[in-house]
Structure 1
Amino acid sequence: MVRTALTGTRIRERRTMIGLRQSDVAAQVEISPSYLNLIEHNRRRIGGALLSRIARVLGVDVSLLTQGVETEQINQLSEAASAYSASSAEVDKVDEFVGRFPGWAALIAAQQRQIVSLENRVAGLVDRMAHDPFLSASLHDLLSKVSSIQSTASILAETEDLDENWRQRFQRNLHADSGKLAKGAAALVTYLDSEGEAELRAVSPQEELEAFLNATGFHIAGLEKSVPDLIDVLMEKAQGFESDAGRGIGRAYLERYRTEALAMPLDEFRDAAQRVAFDPAHLSEQFGASIPAVFRRLASLPGARIGLVSCDGAGALTLRKTTDLLPLPRFGSACALWPIYRALTRPMAPVRAVLEHASRPGERFLCYAMAHAHYPAGFSASAVYEASMILIPNTLVEQSVYAGPFTRIGTTCRVCPLPDCAARRDPSILGDLQPDAPQGALTRGAG
């Protein structure tokens, strides 16, 4: 949530610096001068669309009014206090603490960043250990070599009258298998020591596309205008496409991206999204585009931090735009409480939810999801279902959106700290880290 104790002051300083009166700014953003005065003196909360309008009038980016060293520290300290409910920290005095003891505040904020980073690293390693096909194949290969060495050694040790020719053959096999085992073990250690999930190699054509898109933030600036043959140039320079199938999927995605970019021009679409608080249904009506196309276009907005997740009818994740709002598993199943799975149970019905990740208490975000059907084999054939959801950070919409009920979710069961989840499939390796964590319903504020 935006800290108005800092934002209001920055608004006042910027307005006076460029020589605007309160009444002038208030008229342009369609609020009363008295209300703007309350905002500037830190007596009213501000965020979302109103903050975007004020920033536009003042000629600055929203981040210049909301972000800074103090804001980041305050947010991280508040997040740390929320994550450990038994700490009884005075959250209401966090602004004063940051102001009086900036050094200690910076240290605690750095520790909180490290904790979050380590938690995400553990989640990635657990996900990798459980579901990575490369790791599974490597372990199977190592076990096969160990079994072969054990069998050969047993023959040599237990057969006293073994022919010398056979003994030499078994010894050569033992030496060769030992060498392969050493190389395989070294390669596996190197693989496990790779830093960060982003360095994991793609194991499918779809993952090749996903890695390429995440490297660009899902925004392809060169395709925002109709330039002939530019897709060919982009595909030639693209890194990470190792297979013909991956390049084919990548080309198809870029062609669809250019079509949607021309139908929903970037500047016009971004302004419209801010006016309607990033509501996909309003944008679909205005631009005559499908909801999935609007989802993809929202995810392509540069600097907006909007996440995107797609899955097939079986619930397997098929496209993921990485985001700090919600850590996304690369392998295996995701949290069953995600709205995308609720959408699959009611195709073509919109799903809207306010969410909070279990490892980041107090940091809520907005989610829209919808499932739709395709009929690639004709009208009389079975439908093929796909669902998508977008994640909207709380800095893009009015803060009043987050005052009502919200749903607490996780990434995947094995790394979810929720102690009493009705949708849990597997026990969590983090289950004993917060013994005093509150028990009860996952949906807060409802009923």
Structure 2
Amino acid sequence: MPKGVLTGSRIRARRADMGIKQSELAERVGISPSYLNLIEHNRRRIGGKLLVALARALETEPVALSEGAETALVDALREAAVDASGERGRSRPRGRAMPHPRMSEAELERVEEFAGRFPGWAALLAETRARVLEAERSVAALSDRLSHDPHLSASLHEMLSSVTAIRSTAAILADTPDLDRDWLNRFHRNINDDSARLAESAEGLVRYLDDGGGADAGAGTPQEEVEAWLGARGFHMEALEAGEAGRPEALLDEAVATGVLRGGAARSMAATQLARYAADARAMPLEPFAEAAHEAGYDPGALAGRFGVPVEAVLRRLASLPREGLPGEIGLVTCDASGTLTFRKPLSGFPMPRFGAACALWPLYTALTRPTLPVREVVEMAGRSPRRFTAFAICRPVGEPGFGVPQVLEASMLLLDEGFGAAREAGEVLALGTSCRICPREACPARREPSIIGRQG
């Protein structure tokens, strides 16, 4: 709805607040009460001298009457209406939102008027919706963590084992009152040792959960430590762009000294990532590559041919570009032949599971089934506010081939959000999710377990 359509509603609300009759205001500005009535009911557009005269009579600025409600607030209200309908992700005419069953389409068209007349209520509704989305995200993240976190699972198993051992020993002591003194002392020592181990396990688990700081925060594994370290730098290592010798080692030493990388495994994995980064930066210098990427429309195939490098190297290099100057966000995810995610550069609207398997429909896994063949798909991630992405994926053997040597595969998938244009204009899209346990697409043919969150078509 155009912003000017709401001007009448603001005029009517301002007049009512000041206690001025419609006929009185019409007389002050030199128009008929019937014409003012049409204006106040948004049936006539106004501007220029009449708007200035009305603003003066209502003791306000013209812009206060003419400007529309904030776009973000109106969009949030529209999305709230569509979310409540359960129509997200279902087939519908492009650009047309389906309202809640209790809300007519005519009411949905007046959402901007609602925001203009009742900004407080509109903001409260939008904020409530945001809190609901945040709560759902937290539930999904916590479920993923409780179901698949290997450290959490091992800690709970150790605690249960200690509790079982203590209970068994206590049962023997209770049921055998005439135990030999030596056996009695041995059982007492066992209870003491098991209880100490239980207390240590519980303290360690509490520290681990506290370190997370939230539902989806915290670096509990070496891979997460590395990704958190790279993420803090925007996945762009400025120090490696100039090709300075010794810089990777200096960066690693700094990360270890500051406690960001806390173990040998994390340092080793970070060293592998930095070595790849440095090699990609040498083959595709930042400024020429960024200019070529813009000219090629961020097409990995065209860039691979231009720089004479493998496609997977281009995917990594695109993901390492600084965010400033890009038309949108770029994400990257890699996996090994088992489907385990080995690297994640997340982006808004495309959550990547921290533990366990991802959605089987990801183009990443399609590429894994046909090595060396590139895959391109426009995908739509499930959720209350589905977003589209252009996905480029490819799978390649890792290492040198040889007789009697097992083939090791690695698949990579680059994600470009709607800011790059292609996904927004696509006619056909592949509907997918994060993982089955937290995906609302109930009718998905690839579903392997029920979802714990709300259903979606």
Measured after TM superposition, the shift of residue 99 of structure 1 is 4.4
Structure 2: how far apart are the matches of 1:400 and 1:127?
A: 30
SS in 2 for 1:371: strand
Alignment check: 8 A CA contact 2:378 2:423 kept? no
| Residue 203 (1) aligns with residue 226 (2) | no
SS in 1 for 2:377: strand
Structure 2: how far apart are the matches of 1:305 and 1:72?
A: 19
Q: Which has the higher contact order (CA 8 A, sep 6+)?
A: 1
| Residue 283 (1) aligns with residue 320 (2) | no
Distance 1:340 1:112, change over 3 A: same
Measured after TM superposition, the shift of residue 150 of structure 1 is 1.0
Alignment check: 8 A CA contact 1:82 1:362 kept? no
Question: What's 2:190 paired with?
Answer: 173
Residue-by-residue CA offset, 1:391-429 (whole Å, 9 max, x unaligned): 111112257523x11122111111111111211111111
Mapping for residues 6-405 of structure 1, pairs under 5 Å: 70-86=70-86, 87-88=100-101, 90=105, 92-192=109-209, 194-196=212-214, 199-204=217-222, 206-238=223-255, 239-303=259-323, 304-378=328-402, 381-397=405-421, 401-402=425-426, 404-405=427-428
SS in 1 for 2:419: coil
Alignment check: 8 A CA contact 2:252 2:271 kept? yes
Question: What's 1:424 paired with?
Answer: 447
Measured after TM superposition, the shift of residue 139 of structure 1 is 1.2
SS in 2 for 1:177: helix
Measured after TM superposition, the shift of residue 73 of structure 1 is 3.3
Q: Which has the larger radius of gyration?
A: 2
Measured after TM superposition, the shift of residue 143 of structure 1 is 1.2
Measured after TM superposition, the shift of residue 232 of structure 1 is 2.6
Distance 1:178 1:113, change over 3 A: same
SS in 2 for 1:428: coil
Measured after TM superposition, the shift of residue 192 of structure 1 is 3.6
Residue-by-residue CA offset, 1:72-102 (whole Å, 9 max, x unaligned): 4344444433333252455555555444444
Distance 1:400 1:213, change over 3 A: closer
Residue-by-residue CA offset, 1:329-380 (whole Å, 9 max, x unaligned): 1111111111111111222222222222211444222211111223534267
Corresponding letter in the other structure for 1:386: E
Alignment check: 8 A CA contact 1:325 1:365 kept? no
Structure 1: how far apart are the matches of 2:293 and 2:337?
A: 29
**More deviation, 223-232/289-298:** 223-232
Structure 2: how far apart are the matches of 1:5 and 1:187?
A: 57
Distance 1:398 1:317, change over 3 A: closer
Question: What's 1:52 paired with?
Answer: none
Structure 1: how far apart are the matches of 2:313 and 2:383?
A: 31
SS in 1 for 2:132: helix
Structure 2: how far apart are the matches of 1:179 and 1:117?
A: 39
Query: Structure 2 regions of 5+ residues with no counterpart?
Result: 5-68, 87-99
Question: What's 2:16 paired with?
Answer: none
Structure 2: how far apart are the matches of 1:302 and 1:107?
A: 36
> Which of 403, 413, 417 is equivalent to 2:436?
413
Corresponding letter in the other structure for 1:248: S
Distance 1:97 1:405, change over 3 A: farther
Distance 1:79 1:292, change over 3 A: farther
Measured after TM superposition, the shift of residue 264 of structure 1 is 2.5
Q: CA RMSD in A?
A: 2.9
Alignment check: 8 A CA contact 1:367 1:389 kept? yes
Identical-residue share of aligned pairs (%): 45
Structure 2: how far apart are the matches of 1:5 and 1:351?
A: 43
Alignment check: 8 A CA contact 1:278 1:397 kept? no
Distance 1:352 1:360, change over 3 A: farther
Question: What's 2:66 paired with?
Answer: none
Residue-by-residue CA offset, 1:39-97 (whole Å, 9 max, x unaligned): xxxxxxxxxxxxxxxxxxxxxxxxxxxxxx93443444444333332524555555554
**More deviation, 385-394/215-224:** 215-224
Question: Normalising by structure 2, what TM-score?
Answer: 0.72
Question: What's 2:65 paired with?
Answer: none
Alignment check: 8 A CA contact 2:390 2:423 kept? no
Question: Normalising by structure 1, what TM-score?
Answer: 0.74
Structure 1: how far apart are the matches of 2:201 and 2:249?
A: 39
Count residues in correspondence: 368
Residue-by-residue CA offset, 1:136-165 (whole Å, 9 max, x unaligned): 211111111111111111111111212345
Distance 1:156 1:381, change over 3 A: closer
Structure 2: how far apart are the matches of 1:301 and 1:142?
A: 45
Distance 1:176 1:249, change over 3 A: closer
